[in-house]
A and B are shown apart, each in its own frame.
Chain A
Amino acid sequence: MRHLSILGYYFAQYIKVRLAYPGDFLISVFTSLAGTVASFGFLYILFHRVSSLQGWAFEELLFIYGFNLVCLGLFNVLSMNLYEFGERYIMEGRFDQIMLRPLHSLFQVIFEAFRIESFQEFATGLVVVVYVWHKLDLPLTPLDLVLFLLMTICGVTIYLSVFVMLSTLSFWFEDRVGVSPPVFNMIAFGRYPVTIYNVFIQFLLSWIIPFAFASFYPTTYFLQRHEFSSFFALVPVVAATFLVLALILWSRGVRGYQSTGS
């Protein structure tokens, strides 16, 4: 409860800071929206040429895409400081002040900044999901809703865990670590059915950097593709495992933290 109220306060403060420069904020919302529209445009043009992708219809891909945006949007809102962790916190020494407060250090790092404009991705994704749900006349029970919520949480958790792990590298290698951007680009691979890839990439996306568990596998249940049901059942397990690994790695990093001079 205490953490929630602090989170709310962090968030309110951050919004205030961002709205102090309304022009800047509006431009960033606009560019973010333009990016989303462009990626849907790509999907649309692609399916203008081919009617289905290895047995997956346009609407089904749209659903995966929409669900992915829901998770990715929330993740993007929360991940702002993870990319700059090495520079802002380790190299500039701001991690010192994090260590002096009686709150979990990761909690503070994540919630000190938000990419507010990414709520747009979350909203767009939700609209797309609702549209496809309606269009394909997919079943909708209360259980489905609960599962959708659970899958969203798992998806966000998987993204956060992977990028927290990458950020912790900064504890050991003080130089800027440039692995986050290429990994971020790999998120796009998870937007398509893994079956279209070769075995190597399928394995990579499932068990090494489990982005397929954050977008493709969760949607198979709602799309009635029951041949993937065992993967679907594993989603919470994968999310929990990666979260635990990330937290362990993080606390290792904190213990090895060397701070800066003076």
Chain B
Amino acid sequence: MAVIEVSRVSKRFKTYDRKEGVWGGIQNLFRRNPREVKAVDDVSFTVDAGEMVGYIGANGAGKSTTIKMLTGILVPSSGSIRANGYVPYRDRHQYTRGIGVVFGQRTQLWWDIAVVESFQLLKRIYDVSDRTFEEQLEVFDAVLNLKPLLYTPVRKLSLGERMRCDLAAAFLHRPRIVFLDEPTIGLDVVAKENIRQFLKRINAELQVTVVLTTHDLSDIEELCRRVLIIDRGHLLFDGSLEGLRERFECKSQIVFELREPGQVDFGRLGFNSTVEFQQLDALRCQAVFDKKQVASAELIKAIVNSLAVRDVMLDDTTIEEIVREIYSRGEVVTR
């Protein structure tokens, strides 16, 4: 069942070019040069209940603009959005009760007051009952280790601590959909892992639908089965992570190290037409191949059987490389 339906949505902004310098500033007072920027262009997709979807794109690709339209902050220039049964910008009051939002760049909490006071204020704003409130705090504390942070003002928290509190705040009122815009930006490995564990658990246990944008593709690899790729306002890909790997020639490579230095005759291996071999130096060789044509197990078996090797390393294409490839091609591939 689709919980978010986005159909043919575009968002255009009008910006004014400014001339530089003092004289330019004076000219700007009298003449403004309007320029229209299409941040999101004819984007359509749906998200099912309980799904965890990764929304990726380079800086300025239109990710945040999409999230802002999905959360009701911005009004689409054209097209329609329905989420949780509401039109986000129009039914903002009812709609925001059922969603949670985290912007990695900016806290949702009140800067000067203790974390627990922020939670208390949110509890009142969202009409959360005392019991639910206590329960939620227990759950969050178990995963995010919140208790030591509760009585500190938000401005005194480290980025990682603040993000843990922001996540808890976004889930406090048991939302059905949660939007996370760069939730792991600027965090260290441990903090990232904490947050991923939390998201996995919440998504699995409470069936919360999660839409998350990120730069860090390892977030997506760990959390999401489905990805949407946006570039310069266009949706370039919508499908499963495996589909993404399959669709774009995912070159895999095997690097193997010989026992003794020497020249290798790759012809003996019998993969000449499908695998590209290359001797890197006296000891190390590289085999590049397409997983769709060659099973890596077969290739490794052949190498180990016919050559005297000490070490074999298999290296899959990372999503990062695929995305880079998609960006450079810039073609539209939706399912």
Contact = CB atoms under 8 A, between A and B. Distances in A.
B97 interface: yes
B112 interface: yes
A253 interface: no
B74 A2 contact: no
A112 B71 CA distance: 22
A103 B110 CA distance: 16
B96 interface: yes
Contacts of B71: 99-100
B112 A96 contact: no
A9 interface: yes
B233 interface: no
Contact of A96 (B94, B103, B120, B182): B103
Most buried by A among B89, B105, B125: B125
Given A96-B73, A102-B126, A257-B74, A10 B96 contact: no
Given A96-B73, A99-B73, A262-B64, A17 B125 contact: no
Interface string A224-262: 000000000000000000000000000000010111011
Contact of B110 (A2, A13, A100): A13
A96 B99 CA distance: 14
A135 interface: no
Contacts of B117: 13, 16
Contacts of A262: 59, 64, 105, 181-182
B106 A97 contact: yes
Given A100-B96, A101-B125, A102-B96, A259 B108 contact: no
A258 B94 contact: no
Contact of A9 (B60, B64, B73, B124): B124
Interface in B47-75: 59-60, 64, 68, 71-75
Contacts of B59: 262
B332 interface: no
Contact of A102 (B94, B105, B113): B94
B68 A101 contact: no
B230 interface: no
A218 to B, nearest CB: 34
Interface in B83-109: 89, 92-94, 96-97, 99, 101, 103, 105-106, 108
A258 B13 contact: yes
B140 to A, nearest CB: 19
A185 interface: no
Contact of B101 (A2, A100, A259): A100
Interface in A95-110: 96-97, 99-103
Nearest to B64: A262
Contacts of A258: 13, 74
A62 B213 CA distance: 61
Nearest to A174: B16
Contact of B121 (A13, A93, A102): A13
A255 B89 contact: yes
A259 B121 contact: no
Contact of B125 (A102, A255, A259): A102
Which interface residue of B92, B93, B127 has the most chain A CB atoms within 10 A?
Answer: B92
Contacts of A259: 68, 73-74
Contacts of A198: none
A5 interface: yes
A6 interface: yes
Nearest to B173: A102
A210 B60 CA distance: 46
B112 A17 contact: yes
Nearest to A20: B112
Contacts of B121: 6, 9-10, 13
Interface string A1-38: 01001100110010011001000000000000000000
A100 B95 CA distance: 9
Contacts of B125: 6, 101-103
B108 A100 contact: yes
A93 B101 CA distance: 15
A261 B61 CA distance: 11
A99 B72 contact: yes
A96 B113 contact: no
Contacts of A9: 120-121, 124
Nearest to A103: B125
Contact of B106 (A17, A93, A103): A93
Interface string A76-108: 000000000000000001101101111100000
Contacts of A101: 96, 125-126
A97 B93 CA distance: 13
Q: Which of A17, A100, A103, A257 gathers most chain B CB within 10 Å?
A: A100
B97 A102 contact: yes
Contacts of A16: 113, 117
A2 B120 CA distance: 14
9 contacts: A16-B117, A20-B112, A93-B106, A96-B68, A99-B71, A99-B72, A101-B96, A102-B97, A102-B126
Instruction: Pick the 9 closest A-B CB pairs, nearest first.
Output: A17-B112, A102-B96, A99-B73, A102-B97, A262-B64, A102-B93, A6-B124, A100-B101, A13-B113
Given A6-B124, A262-B64, 9 more contacts: A2-B124, A5-B124, A9-B121, A10-B121, A13-B121, A16-B113, A100-B108, A101-B126, A102-B96
Interface of A: 2, 5-6, 9-10, 13, 16-17, 20, 93-94, 96-97, 99-103, 112, 255, 257-259, 261-262
